[in-house]
Structure 1
Amino acid sequence: MRTAALGISLLLLLPTACSSDGDDDAQGVADDLAAGLTQKKLSDVAFTGADPTEEYAEVIGGLGDAPLEVKAAEPDLDGDTGSVALTWTWDVKGNEWSYRSTAALEKSGDDWQVAWDRAIVEPSLTDKEVLEVDTLLPSRGAILGPQEAPIVVERDVVKLGLDKSTLTKAEELASARAIAQVLDLDVKSFVARTKASGDKAFVEALVLRKSAAADLPPTYGEIKGAVAIGSQRPLAPTKEFAAPILGTVGEATAEAIEKSEGRLSAGDLTGLSGLQARYDEQLSGKAGVQIEAVAGKGSERELFTTKPVNGEPLVLTLDSGLQMRAEQVLAQTRPASAIVAIDPKNGDILAAASGPGSKGINTATFGQYAPGSTFKVVTALALLRAGLTPDTTVPCTSTLVVDGKTFKNYDDYPAGHIGDIPFREAFAQSCNTAFIAERDRLKKGDLAQAAAALGLGVDHDLGFPAYFGQVPDPTSETGKAADQIGQGTVLASPMAMATVAASVRAGRTVLPRLITGHKVTQIEPEVPLTAREADQLRELMRGVVTDGSGSFLAGLPGEVMAKTGTAEYGTGDPLPTHTWMIASTKDLALAVFVETGESGSATAGPLLTAFLQAR
């Protein structure tokens, strides 16, 4: 009896085991289908008919490279037929489109196969319909100044380029070459872009402000297929306005599209550099999409729509009037140059202009140069802390030899101020040898500590490229001597030196700010600036104007304080020199820099004067 019962049990179990194997096979085919749909390649999926990869590509081609994930549920089987539910999740320009569809399964012999149908891709699709997407563009966020004054807003432009819709292939290439030549573009690159674009595409060559388009060469209009299309782009008041900092907006590059993870596609406007690139997601907002089933022109059927979300503005501290004034002052300066203006009360950067000689480089906030004698403000603080006073007598000699290296004063140093003189006089006249002679008063780290108290040499992430400078410990006695006068291994940006002037004026360590919404935790200096130290530094800097190398500023209204600076660099005989000047008024701290010039007073000084006189 037990043997018979066991046999019956085995017979009962056998059909169940076969059914389980069939379920596993069907699940495997369903999973293969989901994987193939996700990867957009169906050659590894078992179908009842021919491989539908090409048809699938045609159906979804209108969605471009939008990321996709398809998941298969457990198949529902009934004998030799069945079905499987598929969950589709698309990321179309940052918009999630999710839905479910069903695929029919059929058993052929021992194997399960998928019966292809376009409705697998989207349940309402007919045999002739494909998916298309229209992008619903958001408005790009503006870049604003104080009191929401417009800086970068939509302004009229003219887009120049080639309209291929009426040209033959031979005409396209000839016109592309002609357009590139007339507009002074790289011919090879523009021809390549023309070849790669669609048969009826507009190939953008150049975008000009509307005012600049009036100067377009007449020969441009004679080129077959060359067009000029009125449009708008986010632009600053002028082409030069804080350009290295603000950056540009243009059509997304192939690299930007690849890095965007589906957020960008060909033809989209995006930030290409500067703040426009760093804050692109905030400024660009989120595009909406309208996905349609299309069988031909006029047959569009809406499947899914999301509204665009406009970009958020980026608010800066830049004062448009001061910024344009700084750029006008620098307009004729041929070497790299910069003017930075900071409000000493709160650290707001009101102007950060890099001159035309900077050739698009952000000299103003990210330049890295020896600050020369403007650094003597820092050295003076370190010496005051070491026991020196403004009235201490110091030796100002014509030259001073340190370990075989001869240091001297600048070429036109006034002979009447050579000798044993008060420290305030050495500061006002910028006597190099006096500062170097007092170097033994300072121990390791004293200069860096004083620099930090004035906002120099301590990095902070301000939300834009900002170089705070460096004051490393010297490795030799000559290095220590050079550091005393802002050469050696000491470096600073114009922004950093404007911060020094602002900190002296404010009587505390000032932290620059450009982006109002960017939160920064200030690193407090190890030894903060005291009220007495600030008073002494203000007295010394005022003496530069009343009795020293900055006396040309004496006629300006208000109590102007200043320090001139010159720093040798490079090679040659004589060596070329960076020229600097820092200054402050009650409501403004400034740094003026010219990469190559005669001296701080002769080169940077007139630029500083012109800026202050224009106020």
Structure 2
Amino acid sequence: MSRAARAALPTLAVLALLTGGLTACTDQDAVAKEAADAFAAGLSKGDVAATAGRSAQAAYAELSRPLGDTEPEVRVEQVGDGDDERSVALAWTWDLGPGDSTDLGYTTEVRFTRDGDTWRPTWAPAVVHPDLRDGEQVDVRVLRAERGDILGARGARLVTARPIQTFGLDKSRIEPSQVRSSARAVARFLRVGVPAFVRLAEASGPKAFVEALALRPAHAREVGPAFSDIPGAGVVRGTRHLGITRDFAAPILGRVGPVTAEIVEKSEGRYRAGDQAGLSGLEARYDAQLAGKPGAALLALDADGTERTLAQVEATAGAPLRLTLDAPLQQKAESALATLPRSAGVTALVAVRPSDGAVLAAANGTGNNGLDAATYSRYAPGSTFKVVTTLALLRAGLRPGSTVSCPRTIDVDGKDFENYDDYPAGGYGDIPLATALANSCNTAFVGERDKVDGSALGDAAASLGLGVDHDLGAPAYFGQVPPPEGETELAADTIGQGKVLASPLAMATVAASVAAGTTVVPHLVAGVEPTGSAEPLTPAESRSLRSMMQGVVANGSGRVLAGLGGGVGAKTGTAEYGDPRPDGSLATHAWMIAFRGDLAVAAFVEKGASGSQVAGPVLVDFLS
């Protein structure tokens, strides 16, 4: 309830208490206590006329005018002894936010004098605060906490306070009649939404600086000097919590900005208009940790507006959020994706350290338009999934040298499965399983489907970290391998189509598990380190899978990585999607997963002819 509303409450009971209603009372302790309580209640709601008189009311109203609707809670802490004069201690509390962190409290003393059976307070500025002087006003201010940094590997500051220049409209420098035209000119010059900025400018206070665009210094130089010719146009230099670059891990880290009306409404008093908060990504999920706790200050303002602090509760800085992201590797991954044209659509690259599961890079291409495809997208993994199918076949009794048949086509319940267009002509016929994986023979894996029926594919996927959900500490999708419904779906599943889905993070985890020889459970946020419970790889299985993936590079579809040296293992993948084109063909996703030393990676390109042609060069750039 506002001060104005509360001031309108009936005061007859209080007047009766102080004038004639207690004349018969001989207990002056009780009378003095009731008078003190009534005065404290009046201070709390901004109305002391009934208890201290109209002159005190006028003085209190002027003294507290800067407070607006902000009201204290005032209660009687102690009433002293005395026949005609008593000292009353008042406990003041200014509740400026949720919780106790912004509760500013102190004690004042007020002298009450007795007039018959009535006790009246003596008004003075010291009633509000002991150090308040005549002619001063009081105001309260929330002290914003310093936001915690987001740290990466080796303590690198991924997000921290960095210089920023904010361009906008300074309404204090123009007449009210100029606001609309200047706001329109500012928005047009800076190429921001004109109608929205004009509405914001007109709704802001008469002295407000209305932000239109915030730029890092390097980009701010691109705003020409003609901007200053616009009446009211201004630039404010300061700092803001920003990533290493504008695009650095942006979909994952998220951003900080002014709270929306919806955020304020749902915050239960934690946020107020004008506050900054995490709006997306990790900045939003861990906002309470990063934001810290605000403090508060009670200020004295003299006639010139000069401030001095009467009481203060210091703000508590936010705690840093520690991630496993490696800044140089993240930037290298983003640079590798930048070589792809925007026509490639959604692109992503994820790198995981096999030895401990740390996510070292989770990069999204510029064509993603803010989508976190790296950790949270859902796509058919295509032939990269054949690593999973190979593990299921090994568990069914096959060995890398076991013979499998690779025909040109294979019919499953009326549906023809065939190999990709540039499949090596000499790769058909009876071939070793290792060769089928190296050349990525679709028909060979489809032909062995009877050995991986039921839960075999799902169990093998879980052993390689795919299809088992857990908390990464950030939004993540680890894929799905549901039990197949029918022979055709099982056939499609064996080559990473059907209902099999994965994210680049999930497929990087598959490569990491092969490299580590155990199920890798990735983690990104310090303190969030889940464990897996899938059937572990045996030493023989891990040796076979590593050798066979190395064979993909040495002798198969992954030769594009051969120049990186020995020990590199990989698997390419192409997954069909969408409706048939006029010629009957389907669009394809391009994938490639690989490991090299203690690094496992997955690259994804939404619109690509094949994994080796499109995703392969991205991994070459990254792993070089």
Q: How does 1:30-49 map to 2 (within 5 A)?
A: none
Instruction: Kindly indicate whether residue 593 of structure 2 is the aligned counterpart of residue 579 of structure 1.
Output: no
Match of 1:352 in 2: 362
Aligned pairs (5 A) from 1:160-171: 160-171=167-178
The aligned runs of 1:197-276 (5 Å cut-off) are 197-276=204-283
Distance 1:363 1:55 in 2: 62
564 and 193 in structure 1: CA distance in 2 versus 1, 3 angstrom threshold: same
Give the alignment partner of residue 184 of structure 1, picking from 172, 179, 191. 191
Q: 1:343: how far off?
A: 1.4
The answer to whether 1:554 aligns with 2:558 is no
Question: Shift of the alpha carbon at 1:241?
Answer: 1.2
CA distance in 1 between partners of 2:70 and 2:460 (Å): 55
Q: Secondary structure at the match of 2:601?
A: strand
The residue number in structure 2 matching 1:612 is 623
Give the alignment partner of residue 93 of structure 2, picking from 83, 89, 98: 89
Asked if the contact 1:495–1:591 (Cα under 8 Å) also holds between the matched residues in 2, the reply is yes
In the alignment, what sits opposite 1:380? 390
Instruction: Tell me the secondary structure at the aligned position of residue 563 of structure 2.
Output: coil
| Distance in 2, Cα, partners of 1:30 & 1:401 | 94
SS in 2 for 1:464: coil
Query: Which of 244-253 and 570-579 deviates more?
Result: 244-253
**Paired residues of 2:291 and 2:318 also in contact (CA < 8 A):** yes
CA-CA distance at 1:37 after TM superposition = 7.6
2:58, 2:410 → 1: CA distance?
Answer: 83
Structure 1 position 315 matched with structure 2 position 295: no
- The residue number in structure 2 matching 1:479 is 489
Mean CA deviation greater in 283-292 or 156-165: 283-292
**For structure 2, which runs of at least 5 residues remain unmatched after alignment?**
1-20
Give the Cα separation in 1 of the matches to 2:512 and 2:136: 67
User: What is the CA-CA distance between 1:259 and the residue it aligns to?
Assistant: 4.2
User: SS at 2:564's partner residue?
Assistant: coil
Q: Rate the CA distance shift 1:298–1:241 in 2: closer, same or farther, 3 A.
A: closer
Say whether residues 1:497 and 2:501 are aligned partners: no
Partner of 1:439: 449
Distance 1:119 1:405, change over 3 A: farther
Identify the range of structure 1 (279-288 vs 537-546) with the bigger mean alpha-carbon deviation.
279-288
Distance 1:329 1:150 in 2: 22
* 1:330–1:355 CA contact under 8 A, matched in 2: yes
What is aligned with 2:374? 364
Alpha-carbon distance in 2 for matches of 1:67, 1:524 = 56
Q: How many residues align?
A: 594
Deviation (angstroms), 1:339: 1.0
What is the deviation of 1:92?
A: 2.8
Which residue in 2 is equivalent to 1:422?
A: 432
SS in 2 for 1:304: strand
Going from structure 1 to structure 2, the CA distance change for 1:61 and 1:546 (only over 3 Å counts) comes to farther
Normalised to the residue count of structure 1, the TM-score between the two structures is: 0.84
Query: 2:202 aligned to 189, 195, 212, which one?
Result: 195
Which residue number corresponds to residue 411 of structure 2?
401
| Structure 2 residue identity aligned to 1:368 | R
After superposition, the Cα gap between the structure-2 partners of 1:404 and 1:171, relative to the gap in structure 1 and judged at 3 Å, is same
Distance 1:54 1:420 in 2: 101
Offset at 1:42? 7.4
Residues 47-106 of structure 1 show CA distances to partners (whole Å, capped at 9, x for unaligned) of 7979x9999887667567779656678999999x99998654333353221245689999
Give, in whole Å, the separation in 1 of the partners of 2:378 and 2:39.
58
Moved more, 215-224 or 329-338: 215-224
Counterpart for residue 530 of structure 1: 538
Q: 2:284 aligns to what?
A: 277
Which residue identity is paired with 2:560? Answer: F
Q: Which moved more, 1:426-435 or 1:499-508?
A: 426-435
Q: 2:613 aligns with which of 602, 609, 614?
A: 602
TM-score normalised over the length of structure 2 = 0.83
Taking only the aligned residue pairs, the percentage that are identical comes to 52
2:523 counterpart (507, 513, 516): 513
CA RMSD of aligned residues (A): 3.9
Q: CA deviation at 1:231?
A: 2.0
| Cα gap change, 1:25 to 1:566, in 2 (>3 Å) | farther
Q: 1:564 to 1:56 in 2, by over 3 A?
A: farther
Offset, 1:25: 12
CA offset digits 1:16-46 (Å, max 9, x no partner): 9x979x99999999999988987x6979x98
Specify the code of the residue in structure 2 equivalent to 1:595: E
Deviates more, 1:310-319 or 1:453-462: 310-319
Residue 272 of structure 1 deviates from its aligned partner by 2.5
Aligned partners of 1:443 and 1:514: how far apart in 2? 34
In 2, Cα distance between the equivalents of 1:493 and 1:61? Answer: 58
